[in-house]
Amino acid sequence: MTKALHTDIDIDTSPNFNAALFFGSQVVTKASMLKDEKLQPHPCGVYFQDIPKDPLTNLSAIPYEAAEELGFFKVDFLHLNVYSYFNNKQEIRELLKTEPDWSLLNSPSIVSRLFQLAKHYDIIKKIQPKSILEIADILALIRPGKSYVLSLYLRDKEKGRKELYKMDPSGNYSFKKAHAISYAMVVILQLHLLSAGIEL
């Protein structure tokens, strides 16, 4: 039997976003997982496919790992608190066009509040990022199995970057460049908010 193709779809949303309310409960089925041999709701996953539902909980009757093997694909709506500080997409777009105060990254207490980077001040200090792409590279470097790229990256950013985002022998990415850049944009928004005196 051929293993199902892994499909990973993550969409960042504000904390108050509810997929069932937004799309309608007839369209969306909440993903499930097994915990203590009982179906529990997945923290953020839903299905837009016609997947069997458990009549007692209205959750997917098939836990998400087994559902993936059967060809169903889960969409994760990830709730990010940073979006709660903005009223619309236009505010976010405008802020992302503005250069943040990069000097904030010299402060361990500031870095400790940043999305995904809170425990990685040491790498930030070595790289001294000054662009979204460099923040993205740091987010890729902290992924499991990528620490070996750091010394190459510090000697030659372009060569390090190629190694960082290349496919593994099985044709998969450990962390896609597009994901890294999206996450980096969240960090940039946080830097702007912290610059404005907003405590995250």
The answer to whether 190 touches 81, Cβ cutoff 8 Å, is no
Choosing from 41, 59, 79, the residue where a domain stops is 79
Q: Are 62 and 107 part of one and the same domain?
A: no
Based on the domain organization, do 28 and 91 belong to the same domain? no
Q: What is the pLDDT of residues 83-134, one digit of tens each?
A: 889 988 899 999 999 999 999 999 999 999 999 999 999 999 999 999 999 9
> Are 72 and 118 in the same domain?
no
**pLDDT digit of tens for each residue in the chain (200 aa)?**
344 455 567 787 877 888 888 888 889 999 999 999 899 999 889 999 999 999 999 999 999 999 988 999 999 888 788 988 998 889 999 999 999 999 999 999 999 999 999 999 999 999 999 999 999 999 999 988 888 999 999 999 999 999 999 877 666 666 788 889 989 999 999 999 999 998 87
Is residue 39 a part of any domain in this protein?
yes
Asked if 102 and 155 sit in the same domain, the reply is yes
24 and 97 share one domain: no
Q: Please check whether residues 183 and 88 belong to one and the same domain.
A: yes
Q: Are residues 87 and 182 in the same domain?
A: yes
Residue 3 lies in a domain: no
* Last residue of one domain, picked from the residues 48, 79, 110: 79
Gap between the Cα atoms of 11 and 62, Å rounded? 22
Number of Cβ within a 10 Å radius of residue 5: 8
Which residue among 63, 79, 95 closes a domain? Answer: 79
Residues 74 and 170 in one domain: no
Angle, CA of 191, 194 and 195, to the nearest 5°: 85
Beta strands 29-35 and 38-47, pairing class: antiparallel
**Residue 66 and residue 92 share a domain:** no
Q: Is residue 179 part of a domain?
A: yes
Cβ-in-10-Å burial (0-12, 13-18, 19+) of 176 comes to middle
Does any domain span residue 97? yes
Pairing status of strand 38-47 against strand 75-79? antiparallel
- Cα(113)–Cα(145) distance, integer angstroms: 24
Domain ranges, residue 45: 9-79
Total number of domains constituting the chain: 2
Same domain, 95 and 47: no
